[in-house]
Structure formats: structure tokens, C-alpha cells
């Protein structure tokens, strides 16, 4: 606990250029960026620095997914002439490794904040009049921080479903899955978005029988339909059952453990359709996250909150209360850590009187670490057509890519969506959608092409190294010029 601010009843509060409430990526990103600009910054965190991403999201999930990847590699070692005993999973060791990584990264954030001279307060921050923040702590009582500006970054929490109250063993959210000490035998994952697909992939790799129940017509909403269909097929090959267009209605616990999940298919939101069920040992509810302004005291301020709980903010992350900003999962933008970082920089730049470029939310990069991986930026073919574009597309599969064959991971494809010019040729790149080996690391050049509004010809002229996975992007782009080499 910082000792710089004294109890508000005995001394005037210490004034800061910026007071940040919330220590996740958006919050600590704003604190670091403001500190780098020479601002006097205070950061208030009620739990642990790093927020959901570091402790109950991105980082621990990817460590467990890497455990699954190592399992796959060892299991397939004989393909390369490397003969090993059948692998055995000690999930406790993976969990210990996960925690070491998380703790090490948290220590790193603490060190960065110290070097930027950010004062960290442990406690619950509540916004009051005149841009003051009351910090309540069980250890040090109440303190008041005065801010020339305040940035709200309180994050989000998992959404639960009626009738599926979590109990950490039978019904879980992402929080509980990441703390498992053993892998359940049969699992129903409710929700086929990014998080649901990652959990389904990880649990299936580690031996679980997995069923994904998704309300929408495809898994990973937002990605191009061709990619979603390819991922569904890839999941099916691995034994993951994917059911789309279904509505979960409840579950009935079984004597001796497990439960039966009921759902309907082929119906409407009113509940008609064919009734079915699946018997499982555990249920993972992965239907998204809601903003978490609950402890910010916003009802007594001028900050507006919409009917879904999101803080209302403009393109520069300014709220309806002068001098107060909101970023990250607290506002209605893509719930991605890198989006939170970007919003934090926009807000601080606005505070400094600069002219920040607003975040282009339609073109942010998405990375999903299931197997096969999925990554995309920009418009899908359907979204481009809906937006009024005349489009031309190109698809190439990893099955013919030499590097993919070498690493024995050929499932997947690259699809590029471009605007069709009046003469019929491919013009501006509108979207890049990928599924396959390490596409989360390959998306960079596609993201740049979309956001720099590059044309197909401009990107196709760039030289791709060989043999690499990334040259499939170049080949897919080159084919749109009408003069592809390998397809």
C-alpha cells in the first residue's frame, strides 16, 4: 500500500495528474503511458496487478493450451522417427508452471510501474465529485486521491446463465477452468466463441470428450464463414462435437456425479425446436463477459452507464463526466487486451492535448489459440458484401505449404477479401482470415495490409521468405493479381 496519501479526514488529498482505477492491461497501460509522458500517476487496484488477462484469462489459458500442444507433439513424435513412451499428463505440474509465469509477469508489471514512478494503491477505488477517488482498504482504511483526470478501467467478469449457477466443480466459468487440478472425462462447453473454442481444444487434447453448444449459426462469430466451417471440420476430426444453432435450456445433476444438459436445435428464441440432451461430467459456461462497474460508485456521478452495464464513452474514451475517461472491457468495444492498451494510449494522448487517432475497432486483430489456430483482421466476405462492397476473394490451404508439411501441421487455410475494381481486378485489401499452424503469429502482415488500406498489387509485390508458413499469405495475395505461382 502506498503511504503517500493520508486519510482524507486529517489531511488534504494528494493531487495527481491522472488517477487510474483498475490494474489490468487497460489500466496499467494508461498508467505506464502517462508515466512515460511525465505525468504524476496513481493506480488503484482491488485485487492483483495484471487483471483478468494475466490472472484469469489470456496468459493462464495460453499456458494450458501450450501444455496441450506439447502433448500433441510428444504423441506424434513417432511420425518424425522419434520413439518415446506414451505420454502421461501431470496436470498439477502444468498448473504450477502456469502460476510461475503469471507471478513472474505480475512482478514485471510492478517493476515497470515503479520505474515510471506510478504510485500504486491497494484497495477498491470509488469515483466521487470533483474527480476525486476514495480508496477503501481493509488494511489502511479510507484514503482520498484527487485527480486532474480519472481513468476507469475496472474490467469485466464472466457472464453466467440462469439455471447454470457455478459451483467450481460441476458448473464452471473460465475462472474455474483455469484452476482445474484434473481434466474431466466429459465436458459440455456452452458457447463457441474465442474462449469456448480455446477451452474445447485444450480439454479435448488432454483427453476429455467435448461437446460445444453454440447459439449462433457458426462458431467464432466474426470470422469468415469459410474459416468457421474449416474449424468445425477440424474439431470434428479430433472428436470434438460442435452443435450450432442450439439453445441451452437447463441441466439435471445426476446421482453419483455429472449432469445432463438439455438443449433445443432448429428452433427460435421462443423455445420451439427439437429437444435433445448430453450427459457430461462438467459444464463450462463460456458465453462472454460483462462490464464490471459495480464498485465504482457511478450512480452518484455524472458518468452514464447503458442498459447492459457498459460505461458510455466517445471515440477518445471520454465519459459524460468532464475529465473522466473509461477504457477496456468497461466500455462497449472488443474485449481484447490489446484493444485496452490502444484505448489507454488514446485517452492519455487526449489528456495531454494531443490529437490521437481513434481505435479502428472494425479492423483490430483477433487471435484464437485453439488447434488449429484462428486469426483475422478486417471484414469477412459476408460483412464486406453487406457493407456494399463488390468483392473478390482468394483461398489457399496449408496442405501444399512446404513448411506446414515439415512441421506436420497442414490443417487450415488463408482467405483474403479484397475490393473489386471497376475493371474487375482486385484492389484494396478488406480482410484477412486465417486458420492453421501459428497463424496468430502470422497475422501481422495481414493486419498491416488491412489497416494501411494497401492494395493487392502492393502487398503481392513483397518478397516472402521460403520455406515459411507465412508465404501462404503471399501466395494467396499473389493469386488475386491473376498470376499466382502455386495455385
Q: What is the CA radius of gyration of the chain?
A: 24
Q: Which of 338, 396, 466, 486 is catalytic?
A: 466
- Close Cβ partners of 245 (under 8 Å, ≥ 6 residues apart): 214, 215, 216, 217, 265, 266
Q: Is 149 a catalytic residue?
A: no
- Output the DSSP codes for 378-399: E--HHHHHHTT--EEEEEEEGG
Backbone torsions φ then ψ of 439, nearest 5 degrees = -70, -20
CB atoms within 10 A of CB 404: 22
Which contiguous run of DSSP H or E holds residue 172? strand 171-172
DSSP state of 87: P
Residue 340 and residue 329 in contact, taking contact as beta carbons nearer than 8 Å: yes
Cα atoms in the Cβ-side hemisphere of radius 13 Å centred on 112: 20
Residue 358 in contact with residue 315, Cβ under 8 Å? yes
**Closest residue by Cα to residue 288 from 314, 309, 305:** 309
What count of residues does the chain have? 487
Angle at the Cα of 167 from the Cα atoms of 65 and 337, rounded to 5 degrees:
40
Cα–Cα distance between 481 and 487 in angstroms, integer? 12
Catalytic sites, residue numbers? 466
Amino acid at each position: 500500500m502506498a503511504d503517500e496519501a493520508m486519510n482524507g479526514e486529517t489531511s488534504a488529498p494528494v493531487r495527481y495528474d491522472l488517477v487510474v482505477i483498475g490494474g489490468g492491461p487497460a489500466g496499467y497501460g494508461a498508467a505506464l503511458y502517462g508515466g512515460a509522458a511525465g505525468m504524476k500517476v496513481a493506480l488503484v487496484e482491488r485485487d492483483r496487478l495484471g487483471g483478468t488477462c494475466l490472472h484469469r484469462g489470456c496468459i493462464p489459458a495460453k499456458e494450458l493450451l501450450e501444455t496441450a500442444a506439447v502433448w500433441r507433439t510428444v504423441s506424434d513424435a513417432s511420425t518424425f522417427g522419434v520413439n518415446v513412451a506414451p505420454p502421461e499428463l501431470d496436470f498439477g505440474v502444468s498448473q504450477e508452471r502456469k502460476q510461475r509465469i503469471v507471478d513472474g509477469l505480475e512482478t514485471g508489471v510492478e517493476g515497470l510501474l515503479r520505474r515510471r514512478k506510478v504510485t500504486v494503491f491497494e484497495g477498491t477505488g470509488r469515483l466521487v465529485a470533483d474527480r476525486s477517488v476514495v480508496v477503501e482498504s481493509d488494511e489502511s482504511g479510507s484514503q482520498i486521491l484527487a485527480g486532474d483526470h480519472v481513468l476507469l478501467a475496472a474490467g469485466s467478469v464472466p457472464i453466467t446463465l440462469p439455471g447454470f449457477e457455478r459451483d467450481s466443480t460441476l458448473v464452471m466459468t473460465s475462472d474455474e477452468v483455469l484452476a482445474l487440478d484434473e481434466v474431466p472425462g466429459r465436458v459440455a462447453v456452452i458457447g463457441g466463441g474465442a474462449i469456448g473454442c480455446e477451452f474445447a481444444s485444450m480439454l479435448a487434447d488432454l483427453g476429455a470428450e467435448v461437446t460445444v453448444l453454440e447459439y449462433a449459426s457458426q462458431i467464432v462469430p466474426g470470422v469468415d464463414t469459410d474459416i468457421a466451417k474449416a474449424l468445425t471440420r477440424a474439431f470434428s476430426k479430433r472428436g470434438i462435437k460442435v452443435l450450432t444453432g442450439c439453445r441451452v435450456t437447463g441441466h439435471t445433476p445426476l446421482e453419483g456425479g455429472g449432469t445432463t444438459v438439455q438443449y433445443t436445435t432448429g428452433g427460435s428464441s421462443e423455445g420451439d425446436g427439437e429437444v435433445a440432451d448430453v450427459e457430461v461430467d462438467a459444464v463450462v459456461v463460456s458465453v462472454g463477459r460483462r462490464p464490471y462497474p459495480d464498485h465504482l460508485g457511478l450512480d452518484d456521478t455524472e458518468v452514464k452507464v447503458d442498459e447492459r452495464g457498459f460505461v458510455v464513452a466517445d471515440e477518445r474514451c471520454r465519459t459524460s463526466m468532464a475529465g473522466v475517461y473509461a477504457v477496456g472491457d468497461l466500455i462497449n468495444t472488443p474485449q481484447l487486451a490489446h484493444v485496452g492498451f490502444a484505448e489507454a494510449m488514446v485517452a492519455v494522448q487526449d489528456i495531454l492535448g494531443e490529437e490521437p487517432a481513434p481505435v479502428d475497432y472494425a479492423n483490430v486483430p483477433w487471435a484464437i489459440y485453439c488447434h488449429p489456430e484462428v486469426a483475422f483482421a478486417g471484414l469477412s466476405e459476408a460483412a464486406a458484401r453487406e457493407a456494399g462492397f463488390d468483392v473478390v476473394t482468394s483461398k489457399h490451404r496449408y496442405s501444399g505449404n512446404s513448411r506446414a508439411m515439415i512441421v506436420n501441421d497442414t490443417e487450415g487455410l488463408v482467405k483474403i477479401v479484397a475490393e473489386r475494381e471497376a475493371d474487375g481486378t482486385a484492389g484494396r485489401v478488406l480482410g484477412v482470415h486465417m486458420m492453421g499452424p501459428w497463424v496468430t503469429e502470422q497475422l501481422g502482415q495481414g493486419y498491416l495490409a488491412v489497416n494501411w488500406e494497401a492494395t493487392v498489387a502492393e502487398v503481392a509485390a513483397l518478397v516472402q521468405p521460403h520455406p515459411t508458413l507465412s508465404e501462404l499469405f503471399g501466395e494467396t495475395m499473389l493469386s488475386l493479381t491473376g498470376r499466382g505461382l502455386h495455385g
